[in-house]
Amino acid sequence: MNRRAPEPVQVVKERRDAALSELVARVPYISFMGFEFERRGDELTAVMPYRPDLIGNPALPALHGGALAAFLEVTALISLSWTLVWPKIESGETTGVLPKFPKTIDLTIDYLRSGLPRDAYARAEITRAGRRYASVQVEAWQDNRARPIVQATGHFLMPDGASDT
């Protein structure tokens, strides 16, 4: 039996990272807000590096609730899109890999603690992604993973061509 040698790990990583940065770089609002995405295998962690213009309560001080809402929504949208991109890059497709973005139908945000003036992190869990609709839960924390500062659940309309998972 003739088995193909596995691709060098660096090649695989570069292809995945290139697809992720291309996906994120498409959205002007993401770069305006300074959001970044880190990848371990197919798992994404979003980072919102602290900046003074994210403050919503200078007296405390605390992060703006709207900035946190945006952070969670972006995390959910990129994570959902990533599930559409991933199978394509893994099967070696190189062109037309980036899908249209899902559309947010609704988002319910639960503010648990005030956001401190430092970096925040978020991860999304896709509860269900169908051909048309997806349900996503997303949570953000700062210094302590066990003490989330904000969580949200959202529904999204998937772009044409999404498959049931």
Partner 1 sequence: MTADLENKTERARTFVETLPHCQALGMALQSIGQGEAEIAMPYAEKLIGDPDTGVIHGGAVSALMDTCAGAAVMSHPEAGYATATLDLRIDYMRAAKPGATITAHAICYHMTRSVAFVRVSAHDGSSDVPVAAASGAFAVERGSK
Is residue 34 within 8 A of residue 67, CB to CB? The reply is no
DSSP string, 30-75: HHHHT-EEEEETTEEEEEE---GGGEEETTTTEE-HHHHHHHHHHH
| Site membership for partner 1, residue 104 (CB under 8 A) | yes
Sign (positive or negative) of CA dihedral 23, 28, 29, 31: positive
Residue from 19, 33, 46, 134 in contact with partner 1 (CB under 8 A): 33
| Site membership for partner 1, residue 49 (CB under 8 A) | no
| Site membership for partner 1, residue 27 (CB under 8 A) | yes
Nearer to partner 1, 54 or 85 (CB): 54
> One-letter amino acid identity for 106?
D
Q: Where does this chain touch partner 1 (CB under 8 A) — which range of 12-20, 47-55, 127-135, 138-146?
A: 47-55
Closest distance to partner 1 from the beta carbon of 104 (Å):
5
Dihedral angle, C-alpha 63, 110, 33, 16, nearest 10 °: 130
Binding mask 63-92 for partner 1 (x = CB under 8 A): -xxxx-xxx-xx------------------
Residue from 18, 93, 105, 119 in contact with partner 1 (CB under 8 A): 105
